[in-house]
Structure 1
């Protein structure tokens, strides 16, 4: 049997929906046809990709590994057939927030100077992998732990983000204990801060959750609470009503460049080299 692109799309829909019925509806095919397509793919690969033995559908270990390859393959075909990208091959660099901080402008300008035939598209996507896991980007700037091929670019110091004009805003530096009795604004989808950052004895009891960086900044500016972020945020997200103050006793946050295996774009090594050069300079 010859595996076709539809086999990969069917598998990815099942993986994302975690349900055969919903995946079939999404693809506008019958449930028996979708199950048959998945079975054909598994038979071709000689492994089971999906565990359907319980009430809940789960990917097997082989399924998780194959999912990354399938995403890369489908994204490559979609890119090749995208009429808006004929004649050029942009390198899509994702980030969830803050990009490369103060180094962002230098990276974009120097890339344009040194690689004029390969546009570098900076895409803000509020996902943990900044679009990499879904094939929307070729590489991503990720703060915190990184999975898959990656390289450490720098470690960013943490800052407190507090309402301008508050008693905390006038301080030269702050410690985690100074924030304990405040409402901590958290952004779980992509943020690097949780209450576990504080030692148990001084852990804040009041938190508020927002969906993205813009809402996080607005909540702090309005006086609803305070936040903890990295120097990258201060470098790229100046915001009226928010003051950033150095936080002395919180560990720094690593910033990684992450890509897929195999890489989706041949210019990723050049991007890594230039990012390292810009950060070092």
Structure 2
């Protein structure tokens, strides 16, 4: 059997999603087709890449090693087949949600003015590394921990967390909330690109249950409908609006670090300039801690 790009894409989707069903949805394939493609790859390599059980799916040691090689190979081929060829390469910056929060528009305007020969493309990609691990972007603004050895990350700013609650609900009437106020609530979580899990809470004050959603839009809809509450960062109320969602500062939640990440082996030449500009924009246009989240309605995040 000859290994094709579809085998690499299939394996990377499974590794990213941690679930055969979600990987199949992402690739627009059937679940049996994804399972069959994975088996073909494992047979060719002569090793098991994924451990499957009734309750979970995890990469084996060999699978973790192969993940970086597969991502690198796919990125190289993607770049080689890029019809743009020798034309000036745009700096593609991925983000899963909120980008640089209230600083996003300023960053884009200043980049356009200060780097006219290097186009910047901001792309929203709903996955853990916002397309960076798969080579779909050159850099990414992330709010999740970067653990892959193939990626480099540098901090840009720190954001406080805010609660997202249904407008008119009991929690929406408070000026501030604490983590303990979530006890007994259902919390909407986005396992694909979100920053919230029930592990953030001590066991004795942990919310009743988690409602998993597939993307940011579903996260917002679940909260607006009164099915759950959410925990996000102070960036989100300043970026988007959504009727029926109110944001309230959370005083004792751990902050979130926003980083700019890029691939170690093939950095885009404009990445250092982007990092410097992002830090300067944040330093120049910083808002007071917590911002105006307490009176804002609607946003993105999870």
Q: Residues 5-24 of structure 1: matches in 2 within 5 Å?
A: 9=5, 12-13=8-9, 15-16=11-12, 22=37
Alignment-derived partner of residue 250 in structure 2: 247
Unaligned runs of 5+ in 2: 16-33, 53-58, 285-302
Q: Residues 189-228 of structure 1: matches in 2 within 5 Å?
A: 189-228=192-231
Alignment-derived partner of residue 275 in structure 1: 278
Q: What are the superposed Cα offsets for residues 96-124 of structure 1, whole Å, 9 maximum, x if unpaired? A: 11111111111111111111122111111
In structure 2, distance between residues paired with 1:55 and 1:224: 34
Alignment-derived partner of residue 135 in structure 1: 135
- Normalised TM-score (structure 1): 0.80
Alignment-derived partner of residue 170 in structure 2: 167
In structure 2, distance between residues paired with 1:176 and 1:246: 10
In structure 2, distance between residues paired with 1:228 and 1:53: 34
| Offset of residue 195 of structure 1 | 0.9
Alignment-derived partner of residue 108 in structure 1: 108
In structure 1, distance between residues paired with 2:270 and 2:229: 40
Q: What are the superposed Cα offsets for residues 128-186 of structure 1, whole Å, 9 maximum, x if unpaired? A: 00001111111011103113211011111000001112222121100111121222111
2:129 and 2:140 in contact (8 A); partners too: yes
Unaligned runs of 5+ in 1: 1-5, 39-49
Please state whether the residue corresponding to 1:169 is helix, strand or coil. Answer: helix
* CA RMSD after TM alignment: 3.0
Deviating more after overlay: 175-184 vs 96-105: 175-184
In structure 2, distance between residues paired with 1:279 and 1:86: 33
Alignment-derived partner of residue 123 in structure 1: 123
1:158 and 1:252 in contact (8 A); partners too: yes
2:75 and 2:136 in contact (8 A); partners too: no
Alignment-derived partner of residue 88 in structure 1: 88
Q: What are the superposed Cα offsets for residues 40-96 of structure 1, whole Å, 9 maximum, x if unpaired? A: xxxxxxxxxx625999896466534433432332232133xx25x763321110001
In structure 2, distance between residues paired with 1:234 and 1:91: 27
1:153 and 1:275 in contact (8 A); partners too: yes
2:144 and 2:194 in contact (8 A); partners too: no
Q: Which of the numbers 228, 231, 235 marks the counterpart of 1:232? A: 235
Alignment-derived partner of residue 44 in structure 1: none
Q: Which of the numbers 191, 197, 216 marks the counterpart of 1:188? A: 191
1:159 and 1:228 in contact (8 A); partners too: yes
| Offset of residue 25 of structure 1 | 8.3
Q: 1:200 to 1:280 in 2, by over 3 A?
A: same
- Normalised TM-score (structure 2): 0.74
Q: 1:66 to 1:232 in 2, by over 3 A?
A: same
1:94 and 1:141 in contact (8 A); partners too: yes
What is the aligned residue count?
Answer: 254
Q: Larger Cα Rg: Structure 1 or Structure 2?
A: 1
Alignment-derived partner of residue 181 in structure 2: 178
